[in-house]
Chains A and B, each alone.
Chain A
Amino acid sequence: MTEPSTWEQILDYSNRANPYPLYDELRRRPVTRLADGSYLVSSYAEIAALLHDPRVSSDIGRNPAAAAAGASVGDDGDGQGMTPTFLSMDPPDHDKFRRITMRHFGPPATPGRVAGMEARMTEIVTDLIDKMAGPSRIDIVDDLAYPLPVTVICELLGVPPGDEQRFRVWVDVALQSTDPGLDPETQQKKRAEAGRELRAFMEELVEAHRQAPGTDLISAMATDDGPEGRMPDGQLVSTGLLLLIAGHETTVNLISNGALTLLRHPAELQRLRDDPDLAIPMVEELLRYEPPVHFVPFRTALDDIDIAGTTIPAGASLTLVLAAGNRDPAHVTDPGLFIPDRPNNQHLGFGGGVHLCFGAPLARLEAQIALTAFASRLKNPRLVTDPPPYRPSPFLRGPSHLLIDIDGITS
């Protein structure tokens, strides 16, 4: 038996609770070639450069590793594939569809939407924490970190509150299918079945909103024609699903990773209690220190790329290991320390370049509000198990449950 590679160890579930020493090991070589011919990039400067490098494609249809994993578009097993979203497209199509989607979500056309949700987010958080009354054991994931973003994204998109139970199951299956630890056949099968259900769910939703439009984003996308027209229906369905899933799954991890980090750093938790605005820089530090998205897979070199002494050949698949770049000592001082008010915190938590996370402002605001309330309202919170159990995915990393005991809540 050969020793498992650093990358294999990172993918191995047993290292999910603390992959950071493995990232340090990986970063000893900024660019690593894997046995399957794909490349990992793990240092900050190189990742940042590749995120702005037009020779790097995000078109999943061009990616050999995605094809091998059965992850390419239009291949979900029933001959009726999912239309690609701007996430897996290159400019100019990427830019166009991202703009069409952005038109209803943010600037320049709808600048106040996210900031305008602050009061509602606060209300949701207040209600969730009110439910924790009395000395009790709570699960930060189930009781706060999951319900906040899922409620917010459902209200934003116009998903009826009762539907959350329906899509949760399929989303879980779909996310499990991205676990690179699974064999490709199982991945594909799981993706296909979850994909079919989710697509039918969103098709139904789009149609309902087109018949009776509300003020939500799906209604707007289904009925409004901007200067660049409307999205084709198939893509509207995929984009709706992308926003629904990416719009909460990652934020769950951001909030629960944040709560865990604060419980491990009681002095910082106290500072946040004393100064709620500390949450503003703290969320940036969390995005660096414990990012919800650990790597970006399935990017493709369109030409030979010379980087850090290595030539990545044209056609090769690239994985950008954001979480390793975030702790690159060549980029930040004391990368392994959690410093909530770290100045000039430029991190890779949301990626970068034209694909920078679409929902970043939403996630930031939710996490700031949730963590401020977590610090100020929970009396004497203490971790029940450290480390907590983790979700299976190595790239969307976060606790599956985070049990804490509290002495009650302050009103």
Chain B
Amino acid sequence: MRLVVDLTKCQGYAQCAFLAPDVFTIQGDEALTYDPVPDEAQRRRIRRAAAACPVQAIRIDQPDRSEGARHPDGTPGTAAPIEGNGGSFKRSGRIVIVGASLSGLRAAERLREEGFTGSLTIIGEETHEPYDRPPLSKQVLAGSVPSEDTTLPRRREIDADWRLGVAATGLDLAAKQVQLADGGRIGFDKLLIATGVRARSWPNAAEAALAGVLTLRTREDAATLRQLLARRPRRVLVIGAGFIGCEVASVCRELGLPVTVAEAGPAPLGAALGGVIGAIAGELQIENGVDLRCGVRVVSLDGDATGQLCRAHLSDGTTLDVDVAVAALGTVRNGEWLAGSGLASGKWGVACDAGCRAFDVNGLVTDDVFVAGDVSRAPQPMFGYQFLAVEHWGNAISQAEVAAHNMLSSETGRWPHLAVPKFWSVQFGTEIKSVGVPSAADEVAVVQGSVARRRFLAVYGYKGRIVAAVAFNQNKWLEFYEPLIEQAASFPPSFHHVDEPADAQPVPARFQPAANPTQDATVVVTGHYPNERRARLTDRRLP
């Protein structure tokens, strides 16, 4: 059987780990890991675990009862019939979803849940059915879950025409057709773009081609890296200390492997959490035996005569003997196939409105083209209507649900996607969880718990209001901060509460100027200048 846990919701209550201890495991205080393909003999215990979960985060591959049209924010609603065509679209329309991962799958399930009975085609470049990526950098590397066991469970039958192993290469909006790598074309009435992102590879192609140099994004990547780690390399080099880099380093230490992390910025997780909280993540690494080098770049990688990686040269002048190097340099959005389509798509993703409808280059919203998941970039009212791309598991699901609902709804029945972004990571036995957008902040204050105990909660502020909160092993308190972010509550928080630290003074959050085009790109589609008659997509190279 298959299962998946929505770890965005999980608050670490451990009811599942009590009731099905062979399937669910708690690491440290509250970090949950699980076997996504447990033995069928565990079904009763897993049903117990799923029923007992206080936040109902466990999904098993049995058709759930339809939940009706419930907004991902929790607001109930009903799918209104589409005006104008008398609901015939819902009965016999053609929907194409490009992208067969979490977002694409969830959208497909949602379309059927809301009564879409027309034809549904799902196009995926990878040959696999949709699978779950978070375990790849954790359980799969650690060897507790085989990479092929990450297939996502189905909530229901979706009766789709699956076109796997074939990439979409173009979009003809006028003809309403998707072009495929095999030369085929598929017509649609409505389209969902959910092509996600891919790993940014090591920029030197010759070095990237060495055996032992790899990225970690796909199931194959994870299987390869798992094999390499199982051979017990002399040392692993992790290039970049974002979430993937930190999680790989964590697993290496769990496996007792020597690991060096080279991070160009001043601290791990700097882009996500800023330098102050990132430094604490760095302390966790050092305490756990990682050779962490911040402010250090990898200059070059050497191979031996057989083309196997053997050495790395670092900007601090040192040389490391390494057999494996993981380039964890962030992601690239899979939007190239949309070039020339007329959509507002570029390296920053595909721009869409709050209802997941794609914008064209002139800033006009399309009626029939929707976007969801990592590839999308939508205006976020809580952050000044900035177009934010959110590469989080929960966002991929909630946007998929909104997009699917809106594809089937009349104008007045549509939903906006206003969910507060959330992410989680598990490293060195510590669960790091976030709500809001920390990188929007200028200041940060530790308001609950103790940094020394590695159990604390930090609140992020921007110009005197709360924009995010990050918890280290304190995630049961996190939901308190979500409405404060939504309501732009004042920062620093001034109320009295339990577990106040001795010094909760705000300090500069220390975010580096963005090195990542996804943070700083400008989508010039909103028409801020009245004399501007047409929009122009910038192709600006960012540092």
Residue A265 at the chain B interface, CB threshold 8 Å:
no
User: Of residues 17 to 61 in B, which have CB atoms within 8 Å of A's CB atoms?
Assistant: 17-21, 25-29, 44-45, 47-48, 51-52, 54-56
Report the minimal beta-carbon distance from A174 to chain B, rounded to whole angstroms.
27
Interface-central residue, B45, B54, B448, B450, by most chain A CB under 10 Å: B54
Residue A314 at the chain B interface, CB threshold 8 Å:
yes
Contact of B47 with A111 in the complex, beta carbons under 8 Å: no
B162 neighbours in A (Cβ, 8 Å): none
User: Secondary structure of the B side of the interface?
Assistant: mixed
- What separation, in Å, do the CA atoms of A281 and B450 have in the docked complex? 38
Residue A353 at the chain B interface, CB threshold 8 Å:
yes
Report the minimal beta-carbon distance from B108 to chain A, rounded to whole angstroms.
20
Contact of B67 with A364 in the complex, beta carbons under 8 Å: no
With A114-B18, A353-B476 as known contacts, state yes or no: A280 contacts B26, CB within 8 Å. no
User: Secondary structure of the A side of the interface?
Assistant: loop
Contact of B497 with A302 in the complex, beta carbons under 8 Å: yes
Contact of B495 with A360 in the complex, beta carbons under 8 Å: no
User: Of residues 262 to 316 in A, which have CB atoms within 8 Å of B's CB atoms?
Assistant: 277, 280-281, 283-284, 302-304, 314
Contact of B14 with A302 in the complex, beta carbons under 8 Å: no
Contact of A343 with B67 in the complex, beta carbons under 8 Å: yes
A389 neighbours in B (Cβ, 8 Å): none
Residue A178 at the chain B interface, CB threshold 8 Å:
no
Contact of A361 with B480 in the complex, beta carbons under 8 Å: no
Contact of A54 with B18 in the complex, beta carbons under 8 Å: no
Contact of B497 with A303 in the complex, beta carbons under 8 Å: yes
With A108-B27, A114-B18, A361-B18 as known contacts, state yes or no: A55 contacts B44, CB within 8 Å. no
Choose the segment among A88-96, A189-197, A393-401 that binds chain B (4+ C-beta atoms closer than 8 Å).
Answer: A88-96
Contact of B455 with A95 in the complex, beta carbons under 8 Å: yes
A91 neighbours in B (Cβ, 8 Å): 448-449, 498-499
Report the minimal beta-carbon distance from A49 to chain B, rounded to whole angstroms.
7
Report the minimal beta-carbon distance from A277 to chain B, rounded to whole angstroms.
6
Contact of B449 with A92 in the complex, beta carbons under 8 Å: yes
Report the minimal beta-carbon distance from A306 to chain B, rounded to whole angstroms.
10
Report the minimal beta-carbon distance from A351 to chain B, rounded to whole angstroms.
9
B28 neighbours in A (Cβ, 8 Å): 108
- What separation, in Å, do the CA atoms of A345 and B52 have in the docked complex? 9
Residue A411 at the chain B interface, CB threshold 8 Å:
no
Contact of B27 with A361 in the complex, beta carbons under 8 Å: no
- What separation, in Å, do the CA atoms of A230 and B26 have in the docked complex? 22
| B455 in complex: contacting residue of A54, A56, A92, CB < 8 Å | A92
Residue A9 at the chain B interface, CB threshold 8 Å:
no
- What separation, in Å, do the CA atoms of A103 and B453 have in the docked complex? 18
User: Of residues 462 to 495 in B, which have CB atoms within 8 Å of A's CB atoms?
Assistant: 476-477, 479-480, 483, 495
- What separation, in Å, do the CA atoms of A334 and B228 have in the docked complex? 55
Residue B64 at the chain A interface, CB threshold 8 Å:
yes
- What separation, in Å, do the CA atoms of A49 and B476 have in the docked complex? 11
Contact of A54 with B480 in the complex, beta carbons under 8 Å: yes
Residue B13 at the chain A interface, CB threshold 8 Å:
yes
Residue B65 at the chain A interface, CB threshold 8 Å:
yes
Contact of B48 with A108 in the complex, beta carbons under 8 Å: no
A99 neighbours in B (Cβ, 8 Å): 29
Contact of A107 with B25 in the complex, beta carbons under 8 Å: yes
B14 neighbours in A (Cβ, 8 Å): 106-107
Contact of A345 with B498 in the complex, beta carbons under 8 Å: no
B45 neighbours in A (Cβ, 8 Å): 115
**Interface bits A69-108 vs B (CB < 8 Å: 1, else 0):** 0000000000000000000001110010001000000111
Closest to B17 in A: A107
Closest to A314 in B: B496
Residue B15 at the chain A interface, CB threshold 8 Å:
yes
Contact of A54 with B15 in the complex, beta carbons under 8 Å: no
With A115-B45, A345-B56 as known contacts, state yes or no: A280 contacts B51, CB within 8 Å. yes
Contact of A365 with B497 in the complex, beta carbons under 8 Å: no
Report the minimal beta-carbon distance from A385 to chain B, rounded to whole angstroms.
32
Residue A52 at the chain B interface, CB threshold 8 Å:
yes
Report the minimal beta-carbon distance from B472 to chain A, rounded to whole angstroms.
13
Contact of A354 with B476 in the complex, beta carbons under 8 Å: yes
- What separation, in Å, do the CA atoms of A284 and B56 have in the docked complex? 11
- What separation, in Å, do the CA atoms of A360 and B243 have in the docked complex? 34
With A108-B27, A115-B45, A277-B44 as known contacts, state yes or no: A345 contacts B496, CB within 8 Å. no
With A90-B499, A107-B18, A115-B21 as known contacts, state yes or no: A346 contacts B477, CB within 8 Å. no
Residue A386 at the chain B interface, CB threshold 8 Å:
no
| A53 in complex: contacting residue of B27, B48, B67, B480, CB < 8 Å | B480
- What separation, in Å, do the CA atoms of A360 and B14 have in the docked complex? 10
Contact of B476 with A284 in the complex, beta carbons under 8 Å: no
- What separation, in Å, do the CA atoms of A365 and B64 have in the docked complex? 23
**Interface bits A24-64 vs B (CB < 8 Å: 1, else 0):** 00000000000000000000000001001111110100000
With A280-B48, A345-B51 as known contacts, state yes or no: A111 contacts B15, CB within 8 Å. no
A352 neighbours in B (Cβ, 8 Å): 54
Interface-central residue, B13, B44, B67, B450, by most chain A CB under 10 Å: B13
A52 neighbours in B (Cβ, 8 Å): 476-477, 479-480
User: Of residues 348 to 396 in A, which have CB atoms within 8 Å of B's CB atoms?
Assistant: 350, 352-354, 356, 360-361, 364-365, 368
Contact of B48 with A365 in the complex, beta carbons under 8 Å: yes
B453 neighbours in A (Cβ, 8 Å): 92
| A343 in complex: contacting residue of B18, B55, B64, B477, CB < 8 Å | B64
B15 neighbours in A (Cβ, 8 Å): 360-361, 364
| A303 in complex: contacting residue of B27, B44, B496, CB < 8 Å | B496
With A53-B480, A55-B495, A92-B453 as known contacts, state yes or no: A284 contacts B67, CB within 8 Å. no
**Interface bits B443-458 vs A (CB < 8 Å: 1, else 0):** 0000011100101000
Residue A344 at the chain B interface, CB threshold 8 Å:
yes
- What separation, in Å, do the CA atoms of A99 and B455 have in the docked complex? 13
Report the minimal beta-carbon distance from A235 to chain B, rounded to whole angstroms.
19
Residue A135 at the chain B interface, CB threshold 8 Å:
no
- What separation, in Å, do the CA atoms of A346 and B65 have in the docked complex? 15
A284 neighbours in B (Cβ, 8 Å): 51-52
Report the minimal beta-carbon distance from B438 to chain A, rounded to whole angstroms.
19
- What separation, in Å, do the CA atoms of A108 and B17 have in the docked complex? 8
Contact of B67 with A54 in the complex, beta carbons under 8 Å: no
B449 neighbours in A (Cβ, 8 Å): 91-92
- What separation, in Å, do the CA atoms of A62 and B352 have in the docked complex? 51
| B65 in complex: contacting residue of A277, A343, A354, CB < 8 Å | A343
With A53-B480, A356-B13 as known contacts, state yes or no: A277 contacts B26, CB within 8 Å. no
A336 neighbours in B (Cβ, 8 Å): none
- What separation, in Å, do the CA atoms of A360 and B18 have in the docked complex? 10
Report the minimal beta-carbon distance from B272 to chain A, rounded to whole angstroms.
23
A302 neighbours in B (Cβ, 8 Å): 495-498
Contact of B21 with A360 in the complex, beta carbons under 8 Å: no
Report the minimal beta-carbon distance from B372 to chain A, rounded to whole angstroms.
22
**Interface bits B494-511 vs A (CB < 8 Å: 1, else 0):** 011111000000000000
- What separation, in Å, do the CA atoms of A114 and B25 have in the docked complex? 14
| B19 in complex: contacting residue of A55, A115, A350, CB < 8 Å | A115
A361 neighbours in B (Cβ, 8 Å): 15, 18-19, 52
Report the minimal beta-carbon distance from A250 to chain B, rounded to whole angstroms.
16
**Interface bits B67-84 vs A (CB < 8 Å: 1, else 0):** 100000000000000000
Contact of B18 with A111 in the complex, beta carbons under 8 Å: yes
Contact of B477 with A54 in the complex, beta carbons under 8 Å: yes
- What separation, in Å, do the CA atoms of A267 and B468 have in the docked complex? 49
- Taking A303-B496, A353-B476 as known contacts, 8 extra A-B pairs with beta carbons closer than 8 A to each other, sorted by chain A number, are A54-B477, A91-B499, A107-B14, A107-B21, A115-B45, A280-B51, A302-B495, A354-B477
Closest 3 CB pairs of A and B: A361-B18, A54-B497, A107-B17
**A residues near B, CB below 8 A?**
49, 52-57, 59, 90-92, 95, 99, 106-108, 111-112, 114-115, 277, 280-281, 283-284, 302-304, 314, 341, 343-346, 350, 352-354, 356, 360-361, 364-365, 368
Give 8 A-B contacts (CB < 8 Å), ordered by A residue: A112-B21, A115-B19, A302-B495, A304-B495, A346-B54, A356-B54, A361-B18, A364-B48
